[in-house]
Structure 1
């Protein structure tokens, strides 16, 4: 997998965001592998091999 710096991250919006996940990562109660889709999230790069995903509260419909 390429280094984190090689990716251009989209701005966090209400659209679907795809991000690379190295190996297996646990997000909430879900175990993810490979490419994962995260909706309405804020992405923060913490290192070249780790990505932190902060899920924002969703408005009630």
Structure 2
């Protein structure tokens, strides 16, 4: 899950595993595999970085559990 901000400054979290694509319109429009979409303040690069960080945390946790 990643934290994002709607245009009205409301924060919410989204399951980043459900993101199909992200478009710039010029705001970022996140389209989920279900077809639902969210317009957010974060740039495409910020969204990508948050997804990468989230996945890295999941991977690190899994590695610790192997020990």
TM-score tier by shorter-chain length is under 0.3
In our comparison, the structure showing a higher alpha carbon Rg is 2
The alignment's TM-score, normalised by the length of structure 1, stands at 0.27
